[in-house]
Structure formats: structure tokens, C-alpha cells
Amino acid sequence: MAQGKGSSGRGQRDLKVKVKSARGRKLSSTRWLERQLNDPYVKRAKAEGYRGRAAFKILELDDKYHFLKPGARVVDLGCAPGGWCQVAVARVNALGAKPGKAQGRVLGVDLQEVEPVPGAEIHQLDFLEDGADDKVKAWLGGKADVVMSDMAAASSGHKQTDHLRIVALCEAAAALAFDVLEEGGTFVAKVLAGGAESELQTLLKRRFDKVANVKPPASRSDSSEKFVVAVGYRGAISDNTPFPG
């Protein structure tokens, strides 16, 4: 197909930022920096005041499943740097900025200290510790409508190991969600494709009305990450189904 004036492939390539490898910088670091500089979601995040491109992942998931409603009580596990909290604050009306709409609450927890997010309550907490679920419910003053997690374990460089680690985190997040969610609530968490998530999927399907696996547009195409969205929490079940493993 003929290309119009100014639309040549070369012209398009010239629009991208090229990063020269500096002495002492690994090639992988140079490639990461180049990707960041040319990532449209990174640019949008800066322009729209979000703390990272990950904010668009939860925006896109909520646009599809509509779980961040005005008045909702939200728990964001592993909330650093705070982009998901920013999105939740606006959508659940935590600041009361939408007259006539119910005012929600956003609770963020993380192992590390997180810069305050207007409209969100942030706590430094290891959600894996005993009694963490009780602390979350006490801070919320009740149960949550949404538990969400964009957590990932530190990369080991070994794909299958990283997959198993993030599935384990997702399982732990789900265990907390089972205790703190209201009936009808929603659980959203990041996983990496790799096979070990199948048992978790089975368990979630027993606890929720609908479970979907989604790769939002903001998730990079070369990444194996996807998100599980479980809607319609059924509450406690009587058979005490154990977690995988």
C-alpha cells in the first residue's frame, strides 16, 4: 500500500526516543529506559497526574466490570506507589466530589511507606501476618466491597519461579478477601500466565458468581501478566475447601 507524505515507516521510527548505552549501564536497562520513554501510557500517566502507568489497568478493568462504584469500600493490597488508590478515590467518590453520589472509602496497605494519596487511608502493613484481616476490617469499620491487588514478587529472572511466586501472592490475597469481603463483593488481582493458577481459578469459581481472566490494553503485549476478576462473592462456604497446595 502506498504511504502518504510524511507517513513513511522511517518517519514513524524517527519519532521514537533512542537511548544510547552509557558505560556501566546494562543493555537491559537501556532497553527498559527506551521503552519507558516511548510508552504512551507512561506519557498519559504523567499528563493526567497518576503515579504510574498501572493506573490505566484498573481504569480499563473497571470500565468493563464496573466494581468501583460511588459509595464502595475498597481495599488495595500492595498499594505502592498509589496509582490504583488514585483511581479508586475518584471512582468511589471518596472525597465527596460528586454531589448527590454516595461517598466511598479507600484503604491502601503496603509493606513499605507510601506517599499519602488524597482521599485514601494508607497503612504500612504486611497483609500476610496473623490478624491482618481483622486490622483491615477495623480500619474500614466493617467489610469491603472490593479487594484488589497489583502485587508482584521481586523478579528472580526465572519465568516459572516468578509465576509460582505471584500465584502464591494472589492466593494469599484471595484468602484475605474471603474474610473481609461483603457478599456480592469483587476480587481483582494480577497473576502471570503459566499453569499454576488453574487451582486458584477453581477455588474462586466456587466462591464467586463469575470469574474472568483479562489482559487490559494497558498491560504490555510482551508481558505474561493478566488479571483475574471475580465478581459476586457468595460468602463463606460450608465445606471448608482448602487452598491449593
pLDDT in tens, 62-106: 999 999 999 999 999 999 999 999 999 999 999 999 999 999 999
Whether 98 is catalytic: no
The set of residues, in sequence order, having a beta carbon less than 8 Å from that of 187 and lying 6+ positions away, is 146, 147, 148, 173, 174, 177, 181, 204, 208, 228, 229, 230, 233
Q: Per-residue pLDDT for 52 more than 70?
A: yes
> Is the four-CA dihedral 168, 211, 78, 176 of positive or negative sign?
negative
Binding site for S-adenosyl-L-methionine, by residue number, is 82, 84, 110, 126, 150
pLDDT in tens, 160-187: 777 788 888 999 999 999 999 999 999 9
pLDDT in tens, 181-240: 999 999 999 987 766 678 889 999 999 999 999 999 999 887 888 999 999 999 977 555
Q: Per-residue pLDDT for 60 more than 70?
A: yes
pLDDT in tens, 2-20: 444 343 332 333 334 444 4
Q: Of the residues 18, 46, 190, 215, which is catalytic?
A: 190
Q: Per-residue pLDDT for 243 more than 70?
A: no
| Of 135 and 4, the one with more pLDDT | 135
Entry pTM: 0.80
What pLDDT score was predicted for residue 10? Answer: 29
Q: Per-residue pLDDT for 23 more than 60?
A: no
Domains, the chain: 52-233 (3.40.50.150)
Binding site, by residue number, is 82, 84, 110, 126, 150
Strand ranges inside 5-129, DSSP E: 73-77, 105-110, 120-124
